[in-house]
Structure 1
Amino acid sequence: MSTPYASAAPYYARYRPPYPAEFYELLADRFALDGSQTVLDLGAGPGPITLALAPLADQVYAVDPEPAMLAEGSRLAEQRGLTNTSWLACDAAGIGRLCLPRIDLCVIGRAFHLMDRTRVAAELDGVLAPRGGIVLVDSVARPDVPHPPWAAVAEEVCARFLGSGHGSPADWDDVDRSGEPDAQGTEGAEGTVGVEGSEDHLAKSPFSRVETLTWDQRLRHTAEQVAGLMLSRPSSAPALLGDRRAAFESELRQALLDHDPGGAYVRTVRVRAVIATRPRP
């Protein structure tokens, strides 16, 4: 059965902004990524993290419950000539059934809050190498920076086509302000958003040595990219718009250009990374 996640897959892969280089430099440094490691991207979606880490690892396993997301990621990996990625359809609760080799690093982007976090941490304890770890990453609108005025324009168009309650366009990257998850994975959410609140879960897990780092990222979009970002969200995916998708894109682009004919739409997000490892002996 098709889901909004399935129809959002190509837009997710094309229009979601990548995490900054500093994030991948952090992973390479902390986990000594030299091309010999095995990495797990859990809740991978179409694999932006998988594709970025493939040149730094021997093998990367991308795991996600949505086959359409994995198919998009696999297509991109083939297009880029990356032969060391594997795309596995499975939810996070089934990690133990995958019979994976020893994992040196597990990265979870925009999905941990949707999982049974206690169970997932316990499952990962069984597959991660002794010096391995879990890294959570997400990006959210900075709470101290007002939402850009153009975001309200996009929100109005979205509400006109889909009704209210489909979230705020200022929060494309993670979770709608209404509380509706905008991330991969379908396991029961436990009431908190993104990596915020997950530190406590990890501190009580076998990976109780926890550190959080943040970066600010300034993003600049065109009107076309704003439309693509909207369509990348399950709450405003093509499957929900049906045969109104083209009209939605056209009206959204025109509304944005009417608001700012310069055609540059800027926002600032905060990237957060939580690194969790086992306590040192």
Structure 2
Amino acid sequence: MSTPYASAAPYYARYRPPYPAEFYELLADRFALDGSQTVLDLGAGPGPITLALAPLADQVYAVDPEPAMLAEGARLAEERGLANTAWLVGDAAGIGRLCLPRIDLCVIGRAFHLMDRDRVPADLDGMLAPRGGIVLVDFVPRPGVPRPPWAAVVEEVCARFLGPGPGPGPGGADEWDDADRPGGPEGAEAAEDAEDHLAKSPFSRVETFTWDQTLRHTVDQVVGLRFSCPSSGPALFGDRRAAFESELRQALLDHDPAGRYSRTVRIRAAVATRHRP
């Protein structure tokens, strides 16, 4: 039977917004990516980071516990002719058992909160090259900026079919769009907590960077974003999926007949490296 993560995989690969070019330029500059490095994308999902970094590296390993997510990434890599990617089923707790070669850079996108934040940096310390590092990247709320009104429309329709979610944030009603959580502090505090864990690890030199990005969605894209979230993946709707999709499309068009749904998100990256004498 399809799991919520499995059924969300093709929508995640297609509809989740990409990280900005500035993020990859930062990685290329800080880690001197010249096509000779080995990169680990930990908690890769369908590999948006893997696919973007493959042209800059010799080899990129995408590791995730959900085979369906990896299958989507492998399909996209084949379509794009990226032969230097490997898609491995595994989780952060067992990363050492994968017997990977020496890693120059480990990137974790929107997944560090699901990991043991003390153990993972310690395990990576034995795998990363002396000048290697860990980079966390996520979407975080912008302080004092309200969520776009159409997001509430999506939540209301979803709640009618699945019941009220446990609340904003990972695993909750806003997981698909947690950059727009109301009030703002939760996501920012979670990012700062993650960075505090890194600062206490062998990778204690932590620098943070942020970029704001305006995204404009069509009705199809908003529906796809909803299905991209494991808490509302297509499998959870069963035989009511078509009815949900129809009602959501109508509710969105009732809200804005022109079909324009925009939001501005903030991307936050933490670059963690070892202190050098």
TM range (shorter): over 0.9
Give unpaired runs (5+ residues) of structure 1.
179-190
Distance across 2 between alignment mates of 1:174 and 1:156: 16
Compared CA separation, residues 174 and 78, structure 1 to 2 (3 A): farther
SS at 2:235 equivalent: helix
Q: 1:257 aligns with which of 236, 240, 253?
A: 253
| 1:33 alignment partner in structure 2 | 33
Does residue 227 (structure 1) correspond to residue 214 (structure 2)? The answer is no
Query: Residue in 1 aligned with 2:142?
Result: 142
Distance 1:171 1:92 in 2: 21
Cα offset, 1:167, TM superposition: 4.6
> Partner of 1:104 in structure 2?
104
1:195 aligned residue: 191
Secondary structure of 1:142 counterpart: coil
Asked if the contact 2:176–2:226 (Cα under 8 Å) also holds between the matched residues in 1, the reply is: yes
Supply the distance in 2 between the matched residues of 1:41 and 1:85 (Cα, whole angstroms).
Answer: 10
Counting only pairs closer than 5 Å after superposition, residues 132-281 of structure 1 correspond to structure 2 as 132-165=132-165, 167=167, 172-174=176-178, 195-281=191-277
Residue 81 (structure 1) aligns with? 81
> 1:166 offset after TM fit, Å?
5.5
Using the TM superposition, give the Cα deviation of residue 215 of structure 1 relative to its aligned residue in structure 2, in angstroms: 0.7
Whole-Å separation in 2 of the counterparts to 1:159 and 1:176 = 18
Deviation at 1:171, TM superposition (A): 5.1
Do structure 1's residue 67 and structure 2's residue 71 form an aligned pair?
no
Q: Are the aligned partners of 1:113 and 1:192 in contact in 2 as well (CA < 8 Å)?
A: no
Q: How far apart are residue 236 of structure 1 and its match?
A: 0.6
> Who is 2:125 aligned against?
125
2:214 partner letter: R
Contact 1:147 1:170 in 2 (8 A): no
Secondary structure of the residue aligned to 2:26 is helix
Deviation at 1:140, TM superposition (A): 2.6
RMSD: 1.9
The question of whether the paired residues in 2 share the 8 Å contact of 1:54 and 1:82 is answered with yes
Cα deviation, residue 177, structure 1: 5.9
Question: Is this contact kept in 2: 1:110–1:174, CA < 8 A?
Answer: no
SS class of match (2:52): helix
Q: Distance in 1 between matches of 2:166 and 2:223?
A: 15
Cα displacement (A) at 1:170: 5.6
SS in structure 1 at match of 2:105: strand
Aligned residues, how many? 269
Name which of structure 1's ranges 192-201 and 62-71 shifts more when overlaid on structure 2: 192-201
Q: Give, in angstroms, the shift of residue 175 of structure 1.
A: 8.1
**Contact 1:113-1:193 at 8 Å conserved across structures:** no
Q: Which residue of 1 aligns with 2:9?
A: 9
Q: Distance in 2 between matches of 1:269 and 1:69?
A: 24
Normalising by structure 1, report the TM-score: 0.91
SS class of match (2:211): strand
Q: Please give the TM-score of this superposition, normalised by the length of structure 2.
A: 0.92
Sequence identity percentage: 83
